[in-house]
Amino acid sequence: MKALSTIRTIAPLLLSSCLAATSQAAEVTGKRLVAADQEPGNWMSTGRNYGEERFSPLASINDENVDDLGLAWTYKYELDRVVEATPIVVDGVMYTTGAYSMVYALDAKTGRELWRYDPKVWRGIQGRGCCDAANRGVAVWGGKVFVGVYDGRLEALDAKTGERVWSVNTLIDPDRNYTITGAPRVVKGKVIIGNGGAEFGVRGYITAYDVDSGKQAWRFFTVPGDPAQGDETDTITMIRKTWHGDDYWKQGGGGTVWDAMAYDANLDLLYIGVGNASFWNPALRSEAKGDNLFVSSIVALRPETGEYVWHYQTTPGDAWDYTATQHIIVTTLPIDGEPRRVVMQAPKNGFFYVLDAATGEFLSAEKFGHVTWAKGIDPQTGRPIVDWEAADYWTNGEPKVVFPGSQGAHNWNPMSYSPDTGLVYIPQQVTMEYFEPLEKPPVTRPGVPNLGLVVPKVPETLDAVEELAGVYRGKLQAWDPVKQEERWSQPYEHIANGGTLSTAGNLVFQGTADGRVLAYAADTGEQLWEQSVSSGVGAGPISYEVDGEQYVAFNVGWGGAFPITFGALAYRTHVVNDSRLYVFKLNGKAELPPIKRRKIELPNPPPVEADEATLAEGAELFALHCGVCHGLSAMSADIIPDLRYLTPQEHEDFLPIVFGIRANKGMPPFGGILEPKQVESIHQYVIERAHHWRSELLKQDAKRSEADKAGAQ
């Protein structure tokens, strides 16, 4: 049937007038991207310009009229799953992605669908990767749309029709747990993409392909491989000296390039952000020795050849999952009274860095978040002054609570820089982690994170969740990168809030984890506008112009690492999966869709019909096969969906659902992976968790009743 086709197109006569005016859609070139500021109405790359400032020069919407924003149009995604993409807008057409790397082309003025492309990712693949079936967007160049597919493919689509032009497999080892969630970039006719999967035992690298043919142009490895196979380059020989022992390469090493990239056309340098080490535990990874290059580093390469130029390591010998894959911005700042081309980053580790863009020279760094692992950065060496007493959990096996935690002081959610105010706008957050080392390396299994740590115990009561919630919190932070200090901030109750957009209208836009989109005055931080939306927001918004009218667009769809791994805390946002694209303009009159929020009601589960051994087996199988989507904690939010609230019919259909009858709705099929007896063990564990949740809610009701009585007296 046509509705089920991989590619859905419309007749040429129905294409928008902007497409009809040109012979080819998305005719983006390097010249156009370098001169992006001369086309303020377009948003032609994920960061708008090559330096990834995420600043719009448009000012029709400004701090004096932003309160008049209304909905222009909205688009409902096919799957109610995580949405993290930054949309691209070229000549009146918007290109964006939803879950499982599905690509959509929309009329940017009306929201009318022009085509969609489904790469047909096997839903079960999600169990082999981190952090939900996310995709952060596409790249466009020369009439093509490029998408990195979750299962490791890089594909080129015809921008006019959505038809696939070419497809390449980027994976160096199909038996390793590689994924792609990041947006590609295109520089000098090369489409560049990295991979994810560090916690699951992979070796990091980034690859460039020819935009016309898909032929591989170069590949740059970020960590050393099997020494028996020899070193691919002199750079690998150099970094191998920073690793120790005989087994570091077997786990993979990590160092995946799963998100951040930026480019400086004048210097002709491509900057990549490199992820965490694997194992996290350095004693099991590299005998607790060495810097382990290039993990947790910014690396500068030549985009035509992949040649190494320089690097700066934010967290030498990373032991805390402090990725440097967070958003990189390249711009010019007044340093010591002189304009200087710089690279800026606010990675997970809680320090804001400013580096010389040409050489990687360390210029400055200060804490922008709550940090206990290091006392500061040595101004002479640029290396962290580690507080070993507070942060070393591996030498004596003594567990430690460390700030920030694995969610970071800033995660993937993009920041923005306004040249008008000179400020960087960061989705900052406070997180912590309990690190307890394993004495021996864990058994490596597909789809299971291999951290070299004891999995921490999770809250079993709502009281414990509320206590933990007092620690985890977020804010929008305006940071002065020259003075290295906070200028202003706006607090949020939750972490994992959306990326930011700054504009020439003296505005900063951001979405929140609890389902709001907001605008603030960029200079003072005063809140000027707020609108509730259908789900939580993680993605970065954009602004563009069509026919002289300015628009602001937000991708909305809750999911990702935080709600999956910190389900109990994420539950407090009360958002549900209702994935949509919202586009606003001044005096927009479109009708807002219903605002959905989670209602905490008593579940009514069937009785538990299993002994303790069966429940223990179910808990282990759930963590192994189900937790990556439905949450790893006993107090999980189960956002995809909440399994504690299954209907009687869903309990009846539990086995066929697990075996695949909802695969078309995003539920991975486990037929052939799990035996029916194992599925029933999982089912009984889910039922037991539902009863536990019911008990917790009844306790909370009783506490409120007692408080009400005490207040009445």
How many CA atoms lie less than 13 Å away from 393 in the CB half-sphere? 23
Tokens 């989109």 identify what position?
Answer: 517
- In angstroms, the Cα distances linking 27 to 49, 311, 358, 383 are 16, 34, 30, 44
Annotation says 80 is catalytic: no
Contact between residue 29 and residue 141 where contact means Cβ atoms under 8 Å apart: yes
Round to whole Å and give the CA distance between 275 and 271.
Answer: 13
Q: 478 - beta bridge partners? A: 425, 488
Q: DSSP letters along 325-361, please?
A: -S-EEEEEEEETTEEEEEEEE--TTSEEEEEETTT--
DSSP class of residue 98 equals -
Contact between residue 425 and residue 392 where contact means Cβ atoms under 8 Å apart: no
For residues 243, 245, 251, 255, the Cα torsion angle rounded to the nearest 10 degrees is -10
- Nearest CA-CA partner of 307 in 208, 226, 210: 208
Assign 229 to helix, strand or coil.
helix
Round to whole Å and give the CA distance between 300 and 646.
Answer: 50
**Where does 433-511 have alpha helices with state H?**
462-469
* Residue 530: its H or E element: strand 527-532
Contact between residue 100 and residue 81 where contact means Cβ atoms under 8 Å apart: yes
DSSP class of residue 43 equals B
| CA 565, 571, 572, 574 torsion-angle sign | positive
Round to whole Å and give the CA distance between 296 and 313.
Answer: 6
How many CA atoms lie less than 13 Å away from 443 in the CB half-sphere? 2
Round to whole Å and give the CA distance between 448 and 463.
Answer: 29
Which tokens is 371 given? 């940090």
Q: Which residues contact 579 (CB under 8 A, 6 or more apart)?
A: 76, 77, 79, 80, 81, 82, 83, 98, 99, 534, 535, 556, 557
Which tokens is 528 given? 């000027």
- Nearest CA-CA partner of 471 in 387, 385, 407: 407
Round to whole Å and give the CA distance between 669 and 126.
Answer: 11
From the CB of residue 149, how many other CB atoms can be counted at a distance below 10 Å? 25
Q: Which residues contact 191 (CB under 8 A, 6 or more apart)?
A: 139, 141, 146, 154, 156, 184, 185, 208, 209, 210, 211
Round to whole Å and give the CA distance between 677 and 243.
Answer: 45
Q: Which residues contact 582 (CB under 8 A, 6 or more apart)?
A: 71, 74, 517, 533, 553, 554, 556
Query: Helix/strand/coil (H, E, C) string of 600-659?
Result: CCCCCCCCCCCCHHHHHHHHHHHHHHHHHHHCCCCCCCCCCCCHHHCCHHHHHCHHHHHH
For 353-357, the CB contacts below 8 A with 24+ separation are 353/298, 353/312, 353/314, 354/481, 354/482, 354/484, 355/298, 355/312, 357/264, 357/267, 357/269, 357/271, 357/330
Residue of 91, 118, 321, 392 marked catalytic: 321
Residues 233, 237, 240: CA angle, nearest 5 degrees = 130
Round to whole Å and give the CA distance between 512 and 474.
Answer: 10
| Catalytic center residues | 321
